[in-house]
Amino acid sequence: MIAVEQIEMSHPFYKQEQDLRNRILLRPIGLPDHGWEMDDHKAWHFVAVEKDAVVGCVILVPLADRGAQLKQMAVETGNQSRGIGRMLVEALLTFAKTQRLQEIICHARDTAIPFYLKSGFEIYGEPFLEVSVPHHHMRIPL
Ligand SMILES: CC(C)(COP(=O)(O)OP(=O)(O)OC[C@H]1O[C@@H](n2cnc3c(N)ncnc32)[C@H](O)[C@@H]1OP(=O)(O)O)[C@@H](O)C(=O)NCCC(=O)NCCS
């Protein structure tokens, strides 16, 4: 069974979250391990867990004006297309509503846009490059 948990950085699953992000998000585009942890201390962390192993993760970083940014969304390669990403986004959106947040934005890699569209996000603004990877701005009002 897969369950989504919200964790603190002191939780042992945080190390697995870091490992997952290194393998799925950073190394494939040539970034150093632990290169995108600057927002971790102020973020809410969500992990998908199966048999005590973190198989997916995402963080939510609060912004000004009751908004927040979804970041660092990753699902273990062998576990993609099993609905884990969707479970993570649903848990994050449910949590965001309890915080009375009004909008979630994200910088979506173009390859992940169909996934975010299916989760209810919409594209806005102009396309852009982030660490040389094509992205679009996406958002979902709450
Ligand atoms: C993008 C990612 C998080 C999606 O997670 P996932 O667990 O594979 O997605 P799910 O199985 O929950 O998919 C939910 C829906 O989105 C669709 N979907 C997911 N990824 C897709 C893709 N790349 N292209 C088209 N559709 C996609 C699924 O088919 C599914 O549709 P359905 O409900 O009609 O069956 C995952 O593939 C991943 O980690 N990719 C590599 C890292 C990455 O790109 N992260 C996002 C950075 S912005």
Nearest CA to ligand 1 atom 21: 115
For range 75-83, the mean pLDDT: 97
State the pLDDT at residue 115. 98
C-alpha to C-alpha distance for 121 and 139, rounded to whole angstroms: 5
Q: What is the pLDDT at residue 125?
A: 98
Tokens matching residue 136: 């679009």
Q: What CATH superfamily classification does 2-141 receive?
A: Gcn5-related N-acetyltransferase (GNAT) (3.40.630.30)
Q: How does pLDDT run across 101-130, given as a tens digit for each residue?
A: 999 999 999 999 999 999 999 999 999 999
Distance 112 CA to ligand 1 centre (A): 6
Structural domain boundaries in the chain: 2-141
Is residue 48 very low, low, confident or very high in pLDDT (cuts 50, 70, 90)? very high
Q: 79 CA to middle of ligand 1, Å?
A: 10
What is the value of pTM for the model shown? 0.97
Binned at pLDDT 50, 70 and 90, residue 132 comes out as: very high
